[in-house]
Amino acid sequence: MKRSMLLLGVALIALGFTSCKDEKEVKAKKTVETYVVYVDSLEDVSAEDVKANWESIDAVYQLRVSEAETALVNLKESAKEMEDINASRAKYEALKAKIETAKATANPVVNSKQKLRNTLFGDGKIGEDMSFTWVNKDNILGVYESFFQSYKDNKEYFSREDYNEVKLMYEGLDSRKNTVEKEGLSSDDNAKIASIKLKFAPMLKVNRIGAKSEEMAKAKE
């Protein structure tokens, strides 16, 4: 009788252990499934919403994938679940690459020289080619005035390299002026431009010398 009771007790313990183990396995599979479903659900979200909420989406994803990978420990045969995780990971990485490309296109990195050009002439007016073909007899006076005012407003922040770039842009604008003069630039506008040039040229020269001296002084420190 005692032996029967002992065997029954061992059987119950084994059953309990198996039940507990089965429960963990079921929970593990559910965790993996939750991860897969989450990644699949992103396909139903509009591209605009995904882009706008990307940080939150990625935070949830990192939590889900971490839980799924940890769950594999509690699976006897995890080949299928591992395959599901890898497939969803690949799907997510493809989505991530798409979002990063979209962000890079929408917010291109602007180098220091382009920032300077944008500051002095307006966003996108002057590019690497330093073309001033958009300047004509009707707007050239306004371009000179805006350029000179922007220069005065920002010159204290310019480095020696910036001043060198300003000089190149100024020369490019002057070259364009020579062409515009032949296209009917009014004498009144021409006189006003000459007045701006008379003020700007010595100012630029002094500022460039000052920037160079300051740079040399810092190098000696």
What pTM was computed for the model? 0.52
pLDDT for 164-208, tens place per residue? 999 999 999 999 999 999 999 999 999 999 999 999 999 999 998
- CA 47 to chain CA mean position, Å: 17
| Model confidence band, residue 9 (pLDDT cutoffs 50, 70, 90) | very low
Please give the pLDDT value at position 24.
81
Rounded Cα–Cα distance for residues 164 and 178 (Å): 22
Please give the pLDDT value at position 12.
41
Mean pLDDT of 11-21: 47
Rounded Cα–Cα distance for residues 190 and 188 (Å): 5
Residue 17 has pLDDT above 60, yes or no: no
Q: What is the DSSP letter of 182?
A: T
Rounded Cα–Cα distance for residues 78 and 126 (Å): 59
pLDDT for 83-96, tens place per residue? 888 899 998 898 88
* The one-letter amino acid at 153: D
Rg (CA), the chain: 35
The stretches of the chain forming alpha helices (DSSP H) are 2-41, 47-52, 54-71, 79-106, 112-121, 140-154, 160-181, 187-220
- For residues 53 and 98, the answer to whether their CB atoms sit within 8 Å is no
User: Which residues make Cβ contacts (< 8 Å) with residue 119, sequence separation at least 6?
Assistant: 150, 154
User: Which residues make Cβ contacts (< 8 Å) with residue 101, sequence separation at least 6?
Assistant: none
Please give the pLDDT value at position 13.
45
The CA-atom distances, in angstroms, between 172 and each of 131, 136, 159, 166, 179 are 8, 14, 20, 10, 11
pLDDT for 19-69, tens place per residue? 556 788 888 888 888 989 999 998 888 888 888 888 889 999 899 988 888
pLDDT for 111-152, tens place per residue? 888 999 999 999 888 888 888 999 999 999 999 999 999 999
